[in-house]
Amino acid sequence: MPQEFKLILKHLDNPGYTPDIECYLRHGGYDALKKALAIQPKDLPDGKKASPQEQIRDDVKLSGLRGRGGAGFSCGLKWSFVDRRSGKPIYLICNADESEPGTFKDRQIIHKDPHQLIEGMIVSCFANDVKLAYIYIRGEMPKGAKLLNAALKEARAKNFLGKNILGSGYDLEIHVHRGAGAYICGEETGLIESLEGKRPYPRIKPPYFPAVLGLYMCPTIVNNVETLCNVKHIVTMGGPEFAKLGTPNNTGTRIVSLSGQVKRPGYYEIEVGKATIGQLINDPAFGGGLLDGRKLKAVIPGGSSSKVLKAGEKFKLKRKIEGKDVEVETDMLDLPYDFDSLQQAGTMSGSSAIIVIDDSVDIVGALANLSEFYAHESCGQCTPCREGSLWMSKTLHRLTHGEGRKQDADYLVKIADNIPGGKTICAFGEACSWPVQSFVAKFKDEFVAKGAADEERRAKEKVQPKIATPAERKELTTAH
Amino acid sequence: MSFSVPANLEAEIDELITHYPVKRSASLMLLHALQEHFGHISPEATQWVAKKLGLQPINVHELVTFYPMFRQSAPGKHQIKVCRTLSCALGGSHKLHEHFCTKLGLDPHAHGLQTTKDGKFSVEFVECLAGCGMAPVMMCNEDFFEGVSEKKADEILGGCK
Ligand SMILES: Cc1cc2nc3c(=O)[nH]c(=O)nc-3n(C[C@H](O)[C@H](O)[C@H](O)COP(=O)(O)O)c2cc1C
Ligand code: SF4
Ligand code: FES
């Protein structure tokens, strides 16, 4: 039986656990920082010395930690790209913009255990010689911003922050910066522009890789809240020990946000890959199964941008069995919930948010809902994304309002296919296309049937299609 | 009506500016501070921020028009934001939005910001609020509510004085 494995969520929901520093200290808080500051330079076999900072960075590499924000990129590798020779200051930004639909894990850490994040940040900053760091928190979390500010103040009072931290000679300041309701601020270069006081227009890469030309054109590290919390645990446990958690190349734990139509939606921390999608949905320890009398229709496995999985879909997964590479046919419910398996299934674990959709849901309506999100959130810099996301949303709108056409399914895919693949500045282009491409490919009958039914009705009534106005918007039809 | 920022707020703002090596970075934080105090960002507020940070007013105005949270006119005293996005839609957020609108005499089909005639309430749909597991979720001013039934919605309205 798969179980929850609480590393980051260890204390935060326990009765009596509070977000103040005294409570955190009673639970071993800031021990990782003390440990990090006490590391001595180490002699290497080649006669060189490894600084304490290099040792922590090596440990993060050994831990195998992959970013928890969406792309799953190796944290150790990201840190190794930082330009340390430019002589410019290095900045670190915590991405607390959490706005990928379906995701609600960072919210828990920020509101219930802010010091865990702050300690993770201080250790990460120390390891990267960062003297000034920011927490970019989404504007819709005003309480979270206040809690973080209070926590930073407490940490300053105890000299975990500020000048000469705990007598180590290391100085660091962290400030909270609030966003103002735009999803694109979660994209790291959009976030940096926003932090510079501008519109959050993502920057083109190359040349604007944050590790070289980030905040104020200085080397910058952007990491997700959960990623930074993990660094604290890596320092405590040691990289190799951390790497034993989870599965090879998918190490550590992940907090899975489970929402939609299950009995027990919520956030569950697991060892990466040690539970399958089916277990997360059906196991009494997790989702507890579908609502009574319902059947599974689809699963969005990694936040709204990930490609949808259809109930009953099968994939060929590459596995190593007794040292041999074999392909194993795997049902979508039996996919281990990790980075690599989902990638092999043509989708991604993204922000580790599972949205469960049952047979009471109009799948066209579900996609229309998501497309409206993307049409609203495109920053508007790139024509394919700005226009394409809007066209897709308008087409889905007419399909869900009795004004569809038979060929709308193909039309949607044609638009979606023309957005991603290097035609846009940022990955939002992919993010808005993937749901459309996958929903239409996997549920094409339903899209075509809807359009055909509308055409039939119009033929009978001898009327032309009309444009449904926003005022006629209907709710997403579900059985309840 | 002349625009003036109280001394204590200006002191708070001056402190915020010190958080950044480049003043312009403080613009979002200044706009938040002013909107919290005045309820919205007037053209005078935009000019004030621009002057404070050594920017052109357009540099500030383009933020007010881009970021959804900033308002150019006063919304209701109690701002109700209901999440519209998928998980909440599956959990009944459209019914919740409709409930608020009907109760307050607003159009249940309009997604954008609507304010009651007495200026007491505004209701709008917003995108995912990062509370999807406890759908439907909403905010009332700074407060965040999860699993909002119609009964709970009425209690929230009742608590707005
Ligand atoms: C459109 C878009 C939205 C994103 N939103 C978020 C977000 O809300 N939170 C987050 O941590 N990362 C988000 N990301 C990913 C970030 O760009 C970045 O990869 C991440 O913060 C890196 O941190 P990590 O390596 O620790 O995962 C988003 C990316 C894109 C393309
Ligand atoms: S892809 Fe879309 S969101 Fe990204 S920069 Fe271009 S227009 Fe903006
Ligand atoms: S979908 Fe409503 S909070 Fe995420």
Is A101 within 8 Å of B127 when comparing Cβ atoms?
yes
Write A157-161 long-range contacts (CB < 8 A, 24+).
A158/A21, A158/A30, A160/A30, A160/A33, A160/A118, A160/A119, A160/A122, A161/A118, A161/A122
Does residue B127 lie within any of the structural domains?
Answer: yes
Q: What are phi and psi of A269, to 5 degrees?
A: -95, 130
Model confidence band, residue A464 (pLDDT cutoffs 50, 70, 90): confident
By Cβ distance, the residue of B31, B68, B94 closest to A182 is B68
pLDDT at residue A333, rounded to an integer: 97
pLDDT at A135 exceeding the cut of 60:
yes
Q: Do B82 and B153 belong to one domain? A: yes
pLDDT at B161 exceeding the cut of 90:
no
Measured between alpha carbons, how far is B71 from B62 in angstroms, rounded to an integer? 12
Q: What is the mean pLDDT of residues A401-428?
A: 96
Does residue B72 lie within any of the structural domains?
Answer: no
Q: Do B110 and B144 belong to one domain? A: yes
User: Where in the sequence is the domain holding B59, given as residue range(s)?
Assistant: 7-66
By Cβ distance, the residue of A101, A107, A194 closest to B85 is A101
Q: Do B60 and B82 belong to one domain? A: no
Residues 161-200 of A with CB under 8 A from B: 175, 177-183, 194-200
Q: Do B139 and B83 belong to one domain? A: yes
DSSP alpha helix (H) spans, A39-141: 52-63, 75-80, 106-112, 114-127
Answer whether A70 contacts ligand 1 (Cβ < 6 A).
Answer: yes
What residue ranges in A312-416 does DSSP mark as E strands?
Answer: 314-321, 324-331, 353-358
Model confidence band, residue A319 (pLDDT cutoffs 50, 70, 90): confident
Q: Are A62 and A190 in contact (CB under 8 A)?
A: no
Residue in chain A nearest B65 by alpha carbon: A199
Q: Do B82 and B151 belong to one domain? A: yes
Q: Do B60 and B112 belong to one domain? A: no
pLDDT at residue A259, rounded to an integer: 98
| Model confidence pLDDT, tens digit, residues A253-296 | 999 999 999 999 999 999 999 999 999 999 999 999 999 999 99
Predicted structure pTM score = 0.96
Does residue B108 lie within any of the structural domains?
Answer: yes
pLDDT at A479 exceeding the cut of 60:
no
Specify the length of chain B in residues: 161
Q: What is the mean pLDDT of residues B33-51?
A: 97
Model confidence band, residue B73 (pLDDT cutoffs 50, 70, 90): very high
Q: What is the mean pLDDT of residues A23-41?
A: 97
Query: Which atom from ligand 2 is nearest to the alpha carbon of A424?
Result: 1
Q: Does A104 touch chain B (CB under 8 A)?
A: yes
By Cβ distance, the residue of A106, A181, A476 closest to B94 is A476
Q: Pocket residues for ligand 2 (CB within 6 Å)?
A: A 184, 202, 378-382, 385-386, 424-426, 428-429
Measured between alpha carbons, how far is A37 from A325 in angstroms, rounded to an integer? 44
Measured between alpha carbons, how far is A200 from A197 in angstroms, rounded to an integer? 9
Ligand in closest contact with the CA of A183: 1
Model confidence band, residue A83 (pLDDT cutoffs 50, 70, 90): very high
Model confidence band, residue A321 (pLDDT cutoffs 50, 70, 90): confident
Distance (angstroms) between ligand 1 centre and the Cα of A344 equals 21
Measured between alpha carbons, how far is B83 from B147 in angstroms, rounded to an integer? 11
Residue A41, CA distances (Å) to A48, A58, A280 in order: 10, 13, 44
Measured between alpha carbons, how far is A412 from A439 in angstroms, rounded to an integer? 10
Q: Find the CATH number of the domain harbouring B121.
A: 3.40.30.10
What's chain A's average pLDDT?
A: 95
pLDDT at A469 exceeding the cut of 60:
no
Is A265 within 8 Å of B26 when comparing Cβ atoms?
no
Q: Do B57 and B115 belong to one domain? A: no
Query: Which atom from ligand 3 is nearest to the alpha carbon of B91?
Result: 2
Nearest-5° Cα angle at B108, B105 to B112: 100
Amino acid at position A422, single letter:
G
The tokens describing A75, both together, are 């944290």
Q: Are A435 and A370 in contact (CB under 8 A)?
A: yes
Is B135 within 8 Å of A101 when comparing Cβ atoms?
no
Residues of chain B found within 8 Å of residue A132, distances taken between Cβ atoms: 21
Model confidence band, residue A476 (pLDDT cutoffs 50, 70, 90): low
Answer whether B126 contacts ligand 3 (Cβ < 6 A).
Answer: no
Query: How many distinct structural domains can be found in chain B?
Result: 2
Measured between alpha carbons, how far is A443 from A311 in angstroms, rounded to an integer? 11
pLDDT at residue A320, rounded to an integer: 82
Does residue B71 lie within any of the structural domains?
Answer: no
Paired strand residues for A257:
A267, A353
Give the gap in angstroms from C-alpha B27 to the nearest C-alpha of chain A. 5
The tokens describing A168, both together, are 């180590």
Domains of chain A: 21-243 (3.40.50.11540), 255-358 (3.10.20.600), 363-472 (1.20.1440.230)
Distance (angstroms) between ligand 1 centre and the Cα of A70 equals 5
Q: Do B49 and B106 belong to one domain? A: no
| Model confidence pLDDT, tens digit, residues A194-244 | 999 999 999 999 999 999 999 999 999 999 999 999 999 999 999 999 999
Percent of chain A with pLDDT over 70: 97
pLDDT at residue A477, rounded to an integer: 46
| Model confidence pLDDT, tens digit, residues B138-160 | 999 999 999 999 999 999 999 99
Residue with tokens 């994040």: A117
| Model confidence pLDDT, tens digit, residues B84-120 | 999 999 999 999 999 999 999 999 988 899 999 999 9
Q: Do B82 and B150 belong to one domain? A: yes
Q: Are A371 and A413 in contact (CB under 8 A)?
A: no
Does residue B146 lie within any of the structural domains?
Answer: yes
Does residue B1 lie within any of the structural domains?
Answer: no
The tokens describing A413, both together, are 């895919």
Measured between alpha carbons, how far is B146 from B83 in angstroms, rounded to an integer? 10
What residue ranges in A60-215 does DSSP mark as E strands?
Answer: 91-96, 132-137, 173-178
Q: Half-sphere exposure of A133 toward its Cβ, with a 13 Å CA cutoff?
A: 32
What is the DSSP-derived secondary structure letter of residue B42?
-
Q: Does A473 touch chain B (CB under 8 A)?
A: yes
Q: Do B100 and B152 belong to one domain? A: yes
| Model confidence pLDDT, tens digit, residues A339-364 | 999 999 999 999 999 999 999 999 99
pLDDT at A480 exceeding the cut of 50:
no
Is B111 within 8 Å of A470 when comparing Cβ atoms?
yes
Query: Which atom from ligand 1 is nearest to the alpha carbon of A227?
Result: 26
